[in-house]
Amino acid sequence: MRVHRSALRVHVALAGVLLVPALLLTGCTGTQDTDGSASRGGSKAEAKADVEDGAPGGTGGKSKGASAPRLTASHVIRTASLTVQVKDVPKALDRTRGTVEAADGYIGKETTTRNEKGRERTRVVLRVPVGKYEKVLDDLEGTGRLVDRDTKAKDVTEQAVDVESRIKTQRASVARIRELMDDATKLGDVVKLEGELSSRQADLESLLSRRASLKDRTDFATITLSLSEKPAGETDGDDPGFTDALAGGWNAFLTMLLWVAVALGAVLPFAAAAALLVTLWLRVARPWLRRRTTPETTTAPASAQTPDP
């Protein structure tokens, strides 16, 4: 019995000796796991921040490329310039306003002047939706006689995609700076982060303004219309009127006078030569012939009256 009890005590002592190192090892492992998870969490946050900033070597490039905005519709800036002659400029301008309002557009700028002859000229800048751009152009051309037309189209799809991508990246950067400000405890760090936040917000606002400008220029086409007063006597229609007939007859009369003057100019040298010859004949040659033939006619009757012996 004594041997058995001594053997039991030896076994318990050995078990206690082995249990203490096991407990110590378990506590160390738990501490290391906790510290490791915390460090891994911090490294993940730092890696996320680096990815948002576009740090090389991270996976941010792939995620950024995958989440880049896809614009299905093309972004085209359309502009046009029209010059139209009308009989009544104010009336044509009222008609233009009605056309633009019916197309859900608006007039951006209006300028009216008069030239040295007193003819009125109005220049207006119109903004109309792209979907009704062609219809508005056709209506404006029918206002009067079209003198000049110039249309342009510029594709800015790549610029729009680039601006959208940069806005997304800048927003993520601003959000990260704000998170760092929430975790900052030192005054120097807070001041530095506030300056960085202001700079990045200014860049973000600039990008937003650029996107709004692109959207406005692609959603609304710009038409510059010049309305000038027609000269007196011209009509808007194609059928000639009384004034047209009168103007045509006067032009024909002036043309006839011109041709008559040309014909007289061509005949005048010959007419002058003929007049000179006629004058010489009447003034010189004819009297001389008369004086030469007069004595012969006077002597002939005298000889005839002499009696024959």
Q: Which pLDDT belongs to residue 41?
A: 39
CA dihedral 53, 54, 58, 64 (to 10 degrees): 110
The H-assigned helical ranges of 53-156 are: 60-66, 89-102, 133-141
**If the chain, 309 residues long, is cut into consecutive pieces of 10 residues, what is the mean pLDDT of each piece?**
44 47 44 40 39 39 42 76 91 91 90 82 92 91 89 91 93 91 86 90 93 92 91 54 73 86 84 83 76 59 48
- Chain mean position to CA 15: 91
Residues 223 and 123: their CA atoms lie apart, in Å, by 11
Which CATH architecture describes the domain 81-157? 2-Layer Sandwich (3.30)
Q: Which pLDDT belongs to residue 287?
A: 76
Half-sphere exposure of 26 (CA within 13 A, CB side): 6
Q: Which pLDDT belongs to residue 12?
A: 44
Q: Which pLDDT belongs to residue 57?
A: 37
Q: Is 7 exposed, middle or buried (0-12, 13-18, 19+ CB in 10 A)?
A: exposed
- Residues 6 or more apart whose Cβ sits within 8 Å of residue 63: 51
CB atoms within 10 A of CB 78: 19
Sequence spans of domains, the chain: 81-157, 158-217
Residues 169 and 178: their CA atoms lie apart, in Å, by 15
C-alpha closest to that of 230 among 120, 91, 81? 120
Q: Tokens 């608006």, residue? A: 106
- Global pTM reads 0.49
Q: Which pLDDT belongs to residue 208?
A: 94
- Chain mean position to CA 13: 95
Q: Which pLDDT belongs to residue 267?
A: 82
Query: How far, in Å, are 65, 153, 165 from residue 70 at the CA level?
Result: 11, 22, 10
